[in-house]
Amino acid sequence: MKAKTYDRIATAVFYTVALSVMLLLFLIVGYILYKGLRTINLNFITSSPKFMETGGGVAPQLYNSFCMLVLSMVITIPLGVGAGIYMAEYAKPGKITNFIRLCIETLSSLPSIVIGLFGFLIFVNRMKLGFSLLSGAMAVTVLNLPSMTRLSEDAIRGVDPSIKEASLALGASKWETIYKVIIPSAMPGLITGTIISAGRVFGEAAALLYTGGMTTPELRFDILNPLVRNSPLSPLRPAETLSVYIWKVNSEALAPDARQIADGASALLLIVVFLFNFFARYLGRIFHRHHEGSK
């Protein structure tokens, strides 16, 4: 009877904790949407900031956020997945491997402001990239690479060993087994790591203050030369993201309706992250089913 009583008490405690976390999450999301949806409209999404009587829109900042996401993911995913493959399939157990894992765990716990200062010293000053989209993407890559590596390693290690053994028994090489069997089987875990990394790109502000900059030049979409500063394809132009813009508007009060702009931008950022996560998981399931041969 005591065991059953303890089991009921523990079950009730865990359910209470889970419901409390869900309730807190719904309250935070609901408050942000309630305060911000009144500001969001087509003009707010498609126009540029004009600090006159009103603050204008967030189109350049939203575009910069997507550019930062794409450029950082282009760097992060190959490095993170490659490091995960090495740690899971090639690295031999020993002191060196344990030391590498310790370094990865240490890097994953560094504050983002420290990564921002590191990016400012190395990418902005030492590499002469200045406050630019590329500097910000490389700083975010340093921030996301440890978690992407660990999640990739765990996803690859989680693949059923019998699948790997069957591929090798049929005459496939080790690389063919990794590329054609293990990676498709580990795709759900790899997609999860990508979503977590992408979410940090959308929401990151501290690291980008010192690398991506807090200004955006007037973008000329009729200029597609990436070497021109005003080109939307230029990686060397300053790129103020939506999260940095929220911090700047809310802290410096550059417009009379700064609070409304920050609320609307926060709600828009939340909606964009939700939609990105939904579509990323949807595409990941389609890709996984395709490689499994199921419908």
pLDDT grade, residue 253 (50/70/90)?
low
Q: How many residues does the chain have?
A: 295
The pair of structure tokens assigned to 22 is 């869900």
The pair of structure tokens assigned to 170 is 């049929």
Average pLDDT over residues 21-48: 86
Q: How far apart are CA 180 and CA 170, in angstroms?
A: 13
State the residue range of the domain holding 259.
37-292
- Higher-pLDDT residue of 55 and 131 is 131
- Establish if 13 belongs to a structural domain: no
- Establish if 199 belongs to a structural domain: yes
Q: How far apart are CA 98 and CA 14, in angstroms?
A: 34
- Establish if 5 belongs to a structural domain: no
Who's near 249: CB < 8 A, 6+ residues apart?
55, 255, 258, 261, 262, 265
Q: How far apart are CA 56 and CA 48, in angstroms?
A: 6
- Establish if 27 belongs to a structural domain: no
- Establish if 91 belongs to a structural domain: yes
The pair of structure tokens assigned to 150 is 């660990």
Average pLDDT over residues 107-133: 88
DSSP 8-state code for residue 132: S
DSSP alpha helix (H) spans, 158-186: 161-169, 174-177, 183-185
Vertex 218, ends 226 and 229: CA angle to 5°? 30
CATH of the domain at 211: 1.10.3720.10
Who's near 23: CB < 8 A, 6+ residues apart?
none
| Residues forming beta bridges with residue 49, ordered by sequence position | 56
The sign of the torsion formed by the CA atoms of 207, 70, 45, 229 equals positive
Burial class of residue 169 in the structure, from the number of CB atoms within 10 Å of its CB (0-12 exposed, 13-18 middle, 19+ buried): exposed
Q: How far apart are CA 154 and CA 109, in angstroms?
A: 18
Average pLDDT over residues 131-156: 90
- Establish if 181 belongs to a structural domain: yes
The predicted-structure confidence for 161-196, as pLDDT tens digits, reads as follows 888 888 888 888 888 888 888 888 888 888 888 888
- Establish if 6 belongs to a structural domain: no
CB 148 within 8 A of CB 76: yes
Burial class of residue 188 in the structure, from the number of CB atoms within 10 Å of its CB (0-12 exposed, 13-18 middle, 19+ buried): middle
- Establish if 25 belongs to a structural domain: no
CA atoms within 13 A on the CB side of 21: 5
Q: How far apart are CA 157 and CA 88, in angstroms?
A: 6
14-23, 41-50, 181-190: least confident range: 41-50
pTM of the model: 0.82
Q: How far apart are CA 59 and CA 77, in angstroms?
A: 27
Looking at the 3D structure of the chain, how many domains does it have? 1
Who's near 273: CB < 8 A, 6+ residues apart?
199, 202, 203
The predicted-structure confidence for 201-251, as pLDDT tens digits, reads as follows 888 888 888 898 888 777 887 788 888 888 888 888 888 888 888 888 877
